[in-house]
Amino acid sequence: MILQQPGLPGRSLVEGGWLEAEVARVQQGHALAAVASEHRAWLVRRLALVVGDAAEAEDLAQQTLLRAAEHWPLPPGSNIPGWLAVVGVRLAIDERRRRHRWGFLPIRETDQEWAMTTDPDLWRALADLDRRTRAALVLTVLDGFTQDEVAEMLSVPRGTVASWLSRGKARLRAVLEQENA
């Protein structure tokens, strides 16, 4: 018995490479699922530090993973965690801009329960910073990107990133030293 290719009577599954294409599609789906499983938790944590809201970070992480699915497979040698971080931060900034442009109030109050149990002093200090400064700090300090890379990611000059980082670190240092005194 010869299995027929769907929609093309008289052609076998092997002819025309249909079977190979289906196998490749399924394998790519498994690879994407593995990436989502491996990176989702840290992506949510990073985005929560940027946006200050765990529920919003969950939504942004989901949108980021949907973008990954749209662009999957990424080019060989891609830095997948870096790609996810950049897309997530850009989505967060775009959402903030959209809300500001249209005068929307935040959809929900900040969910600080998660953050307060994780590291309350750091959370309070980060909450006082604007989103761009938090994003720059998270991308450089936690994710290890250079200032040049962050500038490119956020489409701003390197000097702007350096300024955000300098002011952000000084503010964090002052707040955390004051709380520890």
> Please, are residues 86 and 138 in contact by the beta-carbon 8 Å criterion?
no
From CA 91, how far away is CA 114, in angstroms rounded? 21
Determine how many CB atoms are found less than 10 A away from the CB of residue 121: 13
Place of tokens 């989502």: 36
pLDDT by residue for the chain (181 residues), tens digit each?
445 555 555 555 555 565 565 655 556 667 788 888 899 998 998 888 888 778 888 999 999 999 988 888 878 888 888 889 889 988 988 877 776 665 544 434 444 455 455 566 777 787 788 888 988 888 888 777 889 988 888 889 999 999 999 999 898 888 778 766 6
- Residues linked to residue 12 through DSSP beta bridges, in sequence order: 4
Per-residue tokens: 165: 């980082």
Angle at the Cα of 32 (from 29 to 38), degrees rounded to 5? 140
From CA 111, how far away is CA 124, in angstroms rounded? 12
Q: Is 155 helix (H, G, I), strand (E, B) or coil?
A: coil
pLDDT of 177 reads 80
pTM of the predicted model, to two decimals?
0.54
Q: Which CATH architecture has domain 42-180?
A: Up-down Bundle (1.20)
Q: For the chain, what are the domain ranges?
A: 42-180
pLDDT of 63 reads 93
pLDDT of 119 reads 63
